[in-house]
Amino acid sequence: MIETDILIIGAGPTGLFTVFEAGLLKLRTHIIDALPQPGGQCAEIYPKKPIYDIPAFPEILAGDLVENLMQQIEPFEPGFTLAERAETLEKLDDGSFIVTTNKGTKHHAPVVVIAGGLGSFEPRKPLISNLADFEDKGVVYMIKDPEVYRNKKVVISGGGDSALDWAIFLADVASEVSLVHRRNEFRGALDSVEKASELAKLGKIKLFTQAEVVRLYGDDNLEAVVVKHNDEGKGESYVETDYFIPLFGLSPKLGPIGNWGLEIEKNAIKVNNAYDYQTNIAGVYAIGDVNTYPGKLKLILSGFHEAAVMCQSAYQKINPGKRYVMKYTTVGGVEGFDGSKKEAKKEVVQSITA
Ligand SMILES: Cc1cc2nc3c(=O)[nH]c(=O)nc-3n(C[C@H](O)[C@H](O)[C@H](O)COP(=O)(O)OP(=O)(O)OC[C@H]3O[C@@H](n4cnc5c(N)ncnc54)[C@H](O)[C@@H]3O)c2cc1C
């Protein structure tokens, strides 16, 4: 059981900044995210796009914003449960909560804050009749640790950046990499397309274009896939493999949070914005894109503000009767933050996010 003071669901900009605000109040935090990396929409949808409305940053790339947030929260040493979706919420008699993920990891905290944005990003799955039989037995939809694939045979399908980038990366890790795409043209960045074609010429990637995986074979675990060639007369290829990784993108869904007994309006969680962004379940807050109230603006800066307000309320819940005097960070500083170590910290953050 993972124990913390504030359990945060969602590692988007709002969830990450909550770690900072909670840390100023000396509250421990732990974050769950369904994605294998922190950053929410900024990291998953538009890491290379510039954002122009983050106060004091005339322009910042979404990916750099996430990197800066990771650096800012590093002194508070938050815990992370990544690549797992928060599935159930159970309220205990003492008012605290247990949140369990789809992989069975249990987290216990007196306060839960949902910073789930548009919802958890669910993989788009290809229509293959026995796909579900091999999930976690060779079929995976997200690559969390590339070392898992060392000296293994891997079939990746998809035509976007993710499929290309992972095929290129795994060409040096796996014993065999096949990349299967329905069309002749890839949608990914030009340099990735060129690199993949180069590796195909060198025999480091087996490229199947105008083709798709249509069947899976194996006893307990996946052993082979059948690739159907869509241009006439070419038939099918039987490709032995340990892993099949369809990378067709992710689509957000409110998902299991919608069944937790929270008041929902238009796919968002209703909160009390006059006070502290608490939901209809005492001790459960909702902040950032996932909540709704009159006048709500779905912007990153709204999430930051809501995180600050919500943490003050959580402090009172966790420390009933204890008086907290708010100090400016210019006065109180940030415990554990040493400007001279900024560069070293940046490296740590990069290795976490890599
Ligand atoms: C193309 C694009 C451009 C944008 N440009 C701007 C801009 O210029 N300025 C601006 O202010 N905003 C912009 N936005 C909006 C901004 O990205 C969002 O307001 C912001 O990401 C909201 O942050 P968040 O942390 O609340 O949610 P998100 O970033 O959506 O993060 C939520 C996280 O919660 C996780 N999650 C959800 N449910 C679960 C669950 N059950 N279990 C585990 N994890 C879960 C998700 O996987 C996700 O990582 C843009 C959005 C897009 C798509």
Ligand 1 atom showing the smallest separation from residue 84 Cα: 43
Q: Can you tell me the mean pLDDT for 205-233?
A: 93
Q: Can you tell me the mean pLDDT for 176-202?
A: 93
Query: Where is pLDDT greater, at 215 or 325?
Result: 215
* Band (233; pLDDT cuts 50, 70, 90): confident
pLDDT at 338: 55
Mutate to test the pocket of ligand 1, among 97, 300, 353 (most ligand atoms within 8 A of CB): 300
pLDDT at 143: 80
Q: What is the pLDDT of residues 278-333, one digit of tens each?
A: 999 999 999 999 999 999 999 999 999 999 999 999 999 999 888 877 778 877 77
Residue 240, beta-bridge partner list: 224
pLDDT at 353: 41
Q: How far apart are CA 144 and CA 101, in angstroms?
A: 16
Q: Whose CA is nearest to atom 15 of ligand 1?
A: 299
Q: How far apart are CA 348 and CA 354, in angstroms?
A: 10
Q: Which domains does the chain show, CATH number per domain?
A: 2-121+250-323 (3.50.50.60), 125-246 (3.50.50.60)
Query: Where is pLDDT greater, at 339 or 145?
Result: 145
Q: How much distance in Å is there from the Cα of 200 to the middle of ligand 1?
A: 36
Q: What is the pLDDT of residues 89-147, one digit of tens each?
A: 999 999 999 999 999 999 999 999 999 998 877 788 999 999 999 998 999 988 877 89
pLDDT at 202: 95
Q: How much distance in Å is there from the Cα of 113 to the middle of ligand 1?
A: 15
* Band (352; pLDDT cuts 50, 70, 90): very low
pLDDT of 354 strictly over 60: no
Tell me the CA distances in angstroms from 205 to 21, 45, 166, 194, 236, one per residue in order. 46, 26, 11, 12, 18
Ligand 1 neighbour 289 (Cβ under 6 A):
yes
Ligand 1 neighbour 38 (Cβ under 6 A):
no
Sheet holding 291-292, edge to edge: 264-265, 268-270, 291-292
Ligand 1 neighbour 257 (Cβ under 6 A):
yes
Give me the chain's average pLDDT, please.
90
pLDDT at 336: 60
Q: Can you tell me the mean pLDDT for 71-89?
A: 94
Ligand 1 atom showing the smallest separation from residue 35 Cα: 47
DSSP string, 222-248: EEEEEEEE-STT--EEEEE-SEEEE--
Q: How much distance in Å is there from the Cα of 28 to the middle of ligand 1?
A: 23
For residue 107, the surrounding DSSP H or E stretch is: strand 106-109
- Considering the chain, what percentage of its residues have pLDDT values greater than 70? 95
pLDDT at 350: 43
